[in-house]
Amino acid sequence: MTSSTLPTGLADATRDEASLRRFLHGLPGVDQVGVEQRAAGLATRSIKKAAKLWAIDTAISMVDLTTLEGADTRGKVQALAAKARRPDPDRPDTPRVAAVCVYPDLAATAVQAVAGSGIEVASVATAFPSGRSARSIKLADVALAVDSGAGEVDMVIDRGAFLEGRYGEVFEEIQEIKAACGEAHLKVILETGELATYDNVRRASWLALLAGGDFIKTSTGKVSPAATLPVTHVMLQAVRDWYTTTGELRGVKPAGGIRTTKDAIRYLVAVHEVAGEEWLTPRLFRFGASSLLNDLLLQRRTQLDGHYSGPDYLTLD
Amino acid sequence: MPAFDYAPAPESRDIANLKPSYRPFIGGEFVPGSGEPLKTLNPATEEVLAEVGTASAADVDTAVQAARKAYERTWSKMPGAERAKYIFRIARLIQERSRELAVLESLDNGKPIKESRDADVPTAAAHFFYHAGWADKLDYAGLGPDPRPLGVAGQIIPWNFPLLMLAWKIAPALATGNTVVLKPAETTPLTALVFAEICQQAELPPGVVNIVPGAGDTGAEIVNHPDVDKIAFTGSTEVGKLIQRSVAGTRKKLTLELGGKAANVVFDDAPLDQAVEGIVNGIFYNQGHVCCAGSRLLAQESVVDELLAKLRYRVSTLRLGDPLDKNTDIGAINSAEQLAKIRELAESGEAEGAQRWTSSCPVPDRGFFFAPTVFSGVQQSMRIAREEIFGPVLSVLTFRTPDEAVAKANNTPYGLSAGIWTEKGSRILWMANQLRAGVVWANTFNRFDPAAPFGGYQESGFGREGGRTGLEAYLHG
C-alpha cells in the first residue's frame, strides 16, 4: 500500500490499513460553525470593474465545460467543443475554457473536436456517478477514456467503502486508477454531499492526495448538495496543507450547482485567500459546470459594453 | 498572471450626514455647552471631522437636574409597557438610520465599515429591542418582589465601540426606569449625538437621556455629582480605580467594566483552521481595540509550530486600510496617543526577547495604522504578556498540560474573557469551570448577544451588563 514518492512521515501513514486510519483520524477536526462563518464572511468581498473583469476571464479559463447526460450524442459533444473553443464568437478575445468533460464513450469524439485548440478532454470514468461496480470494470472504463485520448480522468471514490471505514480499499483503488491513467491527470471526486460531515471531507481529501490524485473534486453534480463554499474551503485548506508538507501543488475542482458569475467569484476569492495566489490558475483550480459559462459571458459583455445584453445574443452550446 | 486585486469599494462619506459642529444634548435640547469645544478627527486621514461642544461642570449639573426631573415626574412613574414603546421606537430608528450610523462610526472611530455595519449597529439595535422586552416584566426577573429603579445613572463609555457601548448602558437603564447622563469618549462623540437626535425623533420625554461630550474632567463631574445615584463606567483599569476611590463611602452604586488580557487556549486536538479564525477574530477584530480581546494565545507545545505557520499565513491575508472600504479587514488606530502606546509596548516585546512577526501588508502613509503583529516565544514575565496592549498585537505563549494551561490563563490580574479550542466536550466544561473570566468562549471568540451577561473578575471590574443579570445593576431589589 506504500507510495514511494511521499515524504517519510506521510509514507508511514499509508503503510497499512491501521496506520492510514490513525493518520486520517489524527487530522485536525473541522468546526462546522467556524468554517461556515468564514465562508460567509469571505463571500462579501467586493469585486468590481477591472477586478471583476479579471475574475470573469480567469473563471472562464477555469471552466470544465460539461455534458453528462444519458441523452448525450456526438452532435451534442461537437457543439460543446465548438463552444469551448470560441465561447463568445462576437468577442474573439474571450479566453477559451480549460476542458470539455464527457462520458468515456464520447471521449474520442471530443478529442477530435478540440484537436489543436489546447483544450483538454476530461472524461468521467469509474462507473460514474455512483461508482458501484467491480474494480475491473472501473479500470476498463478508465482505459476506454485514456485510450480515446482523454488527458484528464475524473473518477468517483467508493463512498460506501469510505463510510464503512475501509480507507485502505479506497486508497488502493485511487492508486490503481492513477496508474491506469498513465499521463492523464486524475481528478478524484469525493461526492461531498454523501460524505455528510466536514471531518469526512477533510479525511477524504487527504486520502485522495495521499493516493496520488492530481485534483480533488467535490461532486458528480448528480447528488444534492453538490459543491458548496464551506466544503471548498475545507478542500482548499487540504491542498494548502499538502503543499506545506510536501512542496507539491495539487488542484481543487468544485462541481455542480455553480451557475452564476457572483458564485464563481466567491470561489475565486476563497482560492485566493484560503489556498493562495498560486492556485489562481486552470492548472490548479477548475469549475465543473455547464450553465456557468453563459452567465460569465453575459457578465463579461456587461462589463465591456456598460449595459446588459440578453441571453439570445449568446449561443446555447 | 496578474494578482487578484480587489476593487476599492468605499462607502460614500455623504451617507454619514456629517455636520461641521455638534452640541451637547441636555433636557431634550441641543445646547451650546460652556466647556472648551473639542475637534474630533478621522483617524484614517487625520482630518478634522467636526467641532464638538463640551459640557462644563455647570452643564453637567444642568443635565443631572434635567435627568432628576424627568426621573421623578415622568419616567419612573410610567408603566413598564409604556417605557417599552419608547425603547422599541429607539431600536427601530437605529435600524432605519443604520447606514448613516455605520458610516459615521467608521469615520469617527476608524473601524472597518463591515464591522460597524454588520456588528456594531445591528447589535446596538438588538440591545434596545431586548431591553424593551424586559421593561414590563421586571417583576418576573427574579430580582425581588418589587424591583425599583435607582434614579439618575451617570454613564461613561469608551472609544472602541462608541454606539454599542452607549446601547449597553442606556438600554438597560431606560428599561428599568432610570434616567441617564452619558459621556461619550473624547475622540468618538459623534454617534452618541446622532443618538440624541434619535431620542428626539422617538419623542422620548426631555431629560430622560442627556449626552454630555467632554474629556476626563467632564467624566469626573458626573462621578462626583451628589445627585447621581449610579455610576456605570467602561474604560481603562486605571480610570476605573480612580472612580472607585471617588465613589467609595457614598451611596452611589457602581459597575466597572475595565481592561483585559484574555487567554485563548488552543489544545492539540482543536479544529486548527477554525482556531486560527478564532485567534484572528479574537485579537484583530476592531484593530484589537477590544477589552475582551484574546491577546494571549496559549498554544499546546505539540501543535504550536503548525498553528503559528497557519496563523501567519492567515494574518498575511488581512487587508489593512481605508475603514470605509468594504474589503478592509483592519482599519485605523483610534488616535495618535493610542498608536504611540501600542508602538511602545511592541518595542518592549522585542527588547525583552520575544520574536516579532509583522504582516507585510501595505500601510497607508497618512492616518494612524499599525500592521497586525504576532509575537512568539513570549514568556509570562514579559510586559507584552501581562499588560493590555489594546491594539492588533498578539502574544503567543505555550503550555504542555491542561493544568498548566489553566494556571497560565489565570495568571493575570484581569479576568474578562477566555477562549478554549478543543474537540473534547468534557475538557471544555472542565476548563470553563477553572478559568477565572466573565465570559468563556468554546471553539469561537468575540460572540455577543444582548441576552448574555458580560463583565469581569479582579482588575477587569465588577457588575454585569446584558441579560437578566444586567438588569440588577440598575434596580433596588
User: Which residues in A lie closer than 8 A to residue B279 (C-beta atoms)?
Assistant: none
- For residue B272, list chain A residues with Cβ-Cβ distance below 8 A: 28
Is the Cβ of A237 closer than 8 Å to some Cβ of chain B? Answer: yes
**Looking at the complex, does the CB of residue A232 fall below 8 Å from at least one CB of chain B?**
no
- Check: CB of residue A218 under 8 Å from CB of residue A267: no
> Residues with Cβ < 8 Å from B287, sequence gap 6 or more?
B110, B111, B330, B331, B332, B333, B334, B370, B391, B392
Judged by CB atoms closer than 8 Å, whether chains meet at B4 and A55 is answered as: yes
Tell whether A244 is within 8 A of chain B (Cβ): yes
CA distances from A10 to A14, A246, B273 (A): 7, 9, 20
Query: Which of B194, B213, B204 has its CA nearest to residue B101?
Result: B194
Phi, psi for residue B226 in degrees, rounded to 5: -65, -20
Contact assignment for B274 to A30 by CB distance below 8 Å: yes
C-alpha A220: how far from its chain's center? Answer: 9
Tell me whether A283 touches chain B (CB under 8 Å): no
For chain B, state the CA radius of gyration: 22
Q: Are B442 and B267 in contact (CB under 8 A)?
A: no
Q: What pLDDT, on the 0 to 100 scale, is given for residue A5? A: 65
Q: Which cell numbers hold the place of B260? A: 483585559
Q: Which of A253, A263, A295, A317 is catalytic?
A: A253
Q: Give the C-alpha separation, A122 to A251, whole Å.
A: 15
| A26 part of contact set with chain B, CB < 8 Å | no
pLDDT in the model for residue A2: 45
pLDDT given at position B5: 86
Interface test with A, best of B4, B272, B423 (most A CBs within 10 A): B4
List CB contacts (< 8 A) between A277 and chain B.
Answer: 3-4
Handedness of CA B84, B88, B91, B93 (dihedral sign): negative
Q: In the annotation, is B257 catalytic?
A: yes
Neighbouring residues of A281: CB distance < 8 A, sequence distance ≥ 6: B1
Write out the H or E segment, with its range, that includes residue B272: helix B272-284
Cβ contact, residue pair A45, B6, below 8 Å:
yes
CB pairs under 8 A between A and B: 72
Percent of chain B topping pLDDT 70: 99
A154, A214, A263, A317: the active-site residue: A154
- E strands, B239-301, in order: 253-257, 263-266, 296-300
B253: helix, strand or coil = strand
Q: What is the pTM assigned to this prediction?
A: 0.94
Candidate list B257, B387, B388, B465, residue with the active-site label: B257
Q: Is the dihedral of CA B314, B320, B323, B327 positive or negative?
A: negative
- Answer whether A38 touches B (CB < 8 Å): yes
Give me Rg for the CA atoms of chain A: 19
Q: How many CB atoms lie within 10 A of CB B340?
A: 12
Quote the minimal CA–CA distance from B214 to chain A in Å. 37
Q: Could you tell me which of B25, B7, B18 has the C-alpha nearest to residue B41? A: B18
CB A149 within 8 A of CB A121: yes
CB within 8 Å: B271 and A28: yes
What is the grid cell recorded at B307? 498553528
Contact between chains at B6 and A38 (C-beta distance less than 8 A): no
Q: Would an 8 Å CB–CB cutoff place A46 in contact with chain B?
A: yes
Instruction: Give the helix, strand, coil percentages of chain B, each rounded to 5.
Output: 45, 20, 40
Question: B131: buried, middle or exposed (CB in 10 Å: 19+, 13-18, 0-12)?
Answer: buried
Distances (CA, A) of B14 to B75, B114, B330: 36, 17, 22
Q: What is the 3-state secondary structure (H, E, C) of A151-167?
A: CEEEEECCHHHHHCCCH
Which residues from chain B sit within 8 angstroms of residue A201, using beta carbons? none
Contact B277 A37 (CB under 8 A): yes
Say if the Cβ atoms of B7 and A280 lie within 8 Å.
Answer: no
Annotated active-site residue in B11, B105, B199, B291: B291
Catalytic residue among A199, A217, A263, A317: A217
Stretches in chain B below the pLDDT threshold 70:
1-2, 477
Q: Which one of B274, B313, B327, B427 would you mutate to disrupt binding with A, by most A Cβ within 10 Å of its Cβ?
A: B274
B48: which strand partners? Answer: B41
B451 close to B465: Cβ distance less than 8 angstroms: no
Q: Is A154 an active-site residue?
A: yes
- Which residue intervals of chain A are DSSP H helices? 8-13, 17-26, 32-42, 49-61, 74-85, 107-114, 135-147, 159-163, 167-181, 192-195, 198-210, 229-246, 261-270, 292-305
Cβ atoms of A249 and A183 closer than 8 Å? no
- A29, A48, A277 member nearest B4 (Cβ): A277
Of A52, A244, A281, which has the smallest distance from its Cβ to B1's Cβ? Answer: A281
Cα A235 to chain centroid distance, Å, stands at 11
Residues of B in contact with A276 (CB under 8 A): 313
**For A100, phi and psi rounded to 5 degrees?**
-110, 145
Residues of A in contact with B269 (CB under 8 A): 28-29
What is the spatial order of strands in the sheet that B21-22 belongs to? B21-22, B47-52, B38-42
- What is the value of ipTM here, to two decimals? 0.90
| Packing angle of the helix pair A32-42, B272-284 (nearest 10 deg) | 60
Q: Are strands B179-183 and B152-156 parallel, antiparallel or unpaired?
A: parallel
Angstrom CA distances, B146 to A259, B70, B142, stand at 60, 21, 10
pLDDT at A310: 85
Across all residues in chain B, what is the average pLDDT?
A: 97
Can you tell me the distance from the alpha carbon of A251 to that of A185, in angstroms, rounded to the nearest whole number? 10
Q: Characterize the bridge pairing of strands B148-149 and B475-476.
A: antiparallel
Q: Which amino acid is at B38?
A: L
Residue A240 with chain B: CB contacts under 8 Å: 313
CB contacts, 8 Å: B271 with chain A: 28-31, 34
The shortest C-alpha distance from A29 to chain B (Å) reads 4
Per CB-CB distance under 8 Å, the chain B contacts of A47 are 6-7
pLDDT tens by residue, chain A, 317 residues: 544 567 777 888 999 999 999 999 999 999 999 999 999 999 999 899 899 999 999 999 999 999 999 999 999 999 999 999 999 999 999 999 999 999 999 999 999 999 999 999 999 999 999 999 999 999 999 999 999 999 999 999 999 999 999 999 999 999 999 999 999 999 999 999 999 999 999 999 999 999 999 999 999 999 999 999 999 999 999 999 999 999 999 999 999 999 999 999 999 999 999 999 999 999 999 999 999 999 999 999 999 999 988 888 888 87
**Cα(first)–Cα(last) distance of chain A, in Å?**
44
Test the B interface: residue of A38, A44, A280, A285 with most B CBs within 10 Å:
A38
In angstroms, rounded to a whole number, what is the distance separating the alpha carbons of residues B68 and B56?
18
